[in-house]
Amino acid sequence: TLTVVDTYGNPLQGQNVTLTLPKGVTSKTGNTVTTDAAGKADIELMSTVAGEHSITASVNNAQKTVTVKFKADFSTGQASLEVDSAAPKVANGKDAFTLTA
């Protein structure tokens, strides 16, 4: 949620706020939002890139930049293994396969 106020802290209704988003970050609510009677507008950000991102909101001739942090989604992680040899090994407690992740 962002809030737009005047110099005295009074909320400003009907203000169009433009968002500047870095590559990999998108807004489900669009890059321009309008404030409600309380001077607020909800923004829903999504990213395909983990890490910290600077988001800038501009209204009239003023702007404010904040940093948001997206973390990696470990539930969608993938692993792959490669075996060094397809040849069978002897089950003698000494022969071994090498797996590379």
CA distances from residue 87 to 81, 83, 96, 101 in whole angstroms, order as listed: 16, 10, 11, 19
CATH 3.30.420.10, applies to 2-72: no
Q: How far apart are CA 88 and CA 101, in angstroms?
A: 20
The tokens 């809030």 sit on which residue?
3
Q: Where are the domains of the chain?
A: 2-72
- The model's pLDDT over 68-101, given as tens digits with 9 standing for 90+, comes to 999 888 777 766 667 776 677 788 888 777 766 6
Percent of the chain with pLDDT over 90: 62
If you average pLDDT over residues 34-60, what whole number do you get?
93
- Indicate yes or no: pTM above 0.85: no
